Amino acid sequence: MMERTLVIVKPDGVQRALVGEIIKRFEARGLRIAGMKLMRIPRETAERHYAEHKGKSFYESTVAYITSAPVVVMCLEGPDAVAAVRATMGATNPLSAPPGSIRGDLGLSIARNLVHGADKPETAVRELALYFTADELISYERSGDKWLTE
């Protein structure tokens, strides 16, 4: 099933100059970039993004962290994009993430795990609306797309 999902290369990924490596892994998986921008997330947007965690012990530090430096936000699309992104990222705790995943290869700390991806299709729709307008997203086909699925 064709889906779209949100991916954020977090401040640690940008500061460690891993943006290209992270994008490369998603593209190599077969996902297409439908939208992408470098930005600093406003506090209000971060609060809406993490609203379900308000009141939890990590909420304030998470909002402070995601707004502390530039991030790269992307809309990726492809068959089962949410699941494909989650598998490519690896477990939230990099020490539990399998080798070959972004977090498993490049991360050391759960607090600095390089990348965010929506956890389910409904979440992806909500999160994408926080960062992109409809006219900022582009659907297209690449010549190699026919080689990805039957």
Residue 1 has pLDDT above 80, yes or no: no
Catalytically annotated residues: 116
Roughly what angle, to the nearest 10 degrees, separates helices 81-89 and 121-131? 90
Q: What are phi and psi of 32, to 5 degrees?
A: -100, 145
**Phi, psi angle pair for 85, to nearest 5°:** -65, -45
Please state, rounded to an integer, the average pLDDT across all residues of the chain.
Answer: 96
| Residue 31 pLDDT | 97
Strand order in the sheet with 2-9: 32-39, 71-79, 2-9, 115-117
* Both tokens assigned to 144: 């190699």
Quick check: 150 pLDDT over 80?
no
In the 8-state DSSP scheme, what is residue 113? Answer: -
The pLDDT value given to residue 116: 97
Q: Is 11 helix (H, G, I), strand (E, B) or coil?
A: helix
Burial 93-112 (b: 16+ CB within 10 A, else e): ebeebeeebbbbebbeeeee
pTM of structure: 0.95
Angle in degrees, 0-180, between the axes of helices 19-29 and 81-89, rounded to the nearest 10: 130
2-139 CATH, one of 3.40.50.300, 3.40.30.10, 3.30.70.141, 3.30.1360.120? 3.30.70.141
